[in-house]
Structure 1
């Protein structure tokens, strides 16, 4: 899978994010912006027959991310604000992806947390431990110690972490969707399994990232082609 220029994309996003406090608040409403397929977002092509668009009561948004990704870490607080204000009809899901071997262990950490029902609570703590405190949570022992420190009983963690079939099935699903949707950068947002937005399409600008996402959500919601 081609991932050329990913480091540059991450860096561009990080620079924009670090400066976002200085961004002006006079951006145009999303509905008035003219975003174009192939430039601002990508239409996901598959071999499957995609039915004609119809208005939808619910729209799915998936973030492909990794705890190891510094761009994802810096994007997280902006994404959280967006999630706090998103319409109720938007269903959000995270899918951890693997670009490097160590990322798989961190993807497992996400699914362990999800199986424990604490992924929302622990995601900020996981990002902080890795990117602020410098912990190597790809190390299974350190990962276990982290969960225990967060209040998860050791026997509870071990019972979930050792349940390989359940976690492996979710990792396989992640790998399959990553390949199907040609995810080449993190973070990437996929809307309704039809549209994809990543840092390269928005010039590393987090505001535009979410403006395009909002535009595509409404496009799906209205049933536009």
Structure 2
């Protein structure tokens, strides 16, 4: 079930030039990497890709669709236009520009962990299931409500951080996503190491609130 607080995927639109450029790209062996020689087409394709990224960042509040790292202002060195079904596999090539198969992810989740595999797909051979939430083992960025499976709790004061991931009890997708993207590596609590600082009370209060929320969710 899609998150009702996210804009519907049907709301996404490309203009005529962008649509035409995407159609030509899909005729190529590597649609996403296609570079038209015509400058107008080149600009239209770039515009389409920029719209895709902005749209999906907006859908997830400027956060990575997998680990919820905030990517506002991060730029291309930290942010990827993510193909959920990897664009490098021939079976998924027709979906290179399908808005339901795209998202915005951090480099760690996309390039370091997810990469070009598709082990998270239950049935990779039946294309009629590619838009079905049940066909994905992890929390799908477009077909699942992330907060129903996982919540990232975080507080920061200067160089001190606390990050906790809350898994919804009984959610197999939460467990799979947590393991697949090694979210335990992102958990940290450096607040309790702060000693003798003027802002110690503030830090203690922030950390206490995050820990209380985690307890509230039985973590």
The structure with the greater share of residues assigned to helix is: 1
Shorter-chain TM-score above 0.5: no
Scaled by the length of structure 2, what TM-score is found? 0.24
Which structure has more RCO (C-alpha within 8 Å, separation ≥ 6)? 1
Scaled by the length of structure 1, what TM-score is found? 0.23
State which structure, 1 or 2, has the greater radius of gyration over its C-alpha atoms.
2
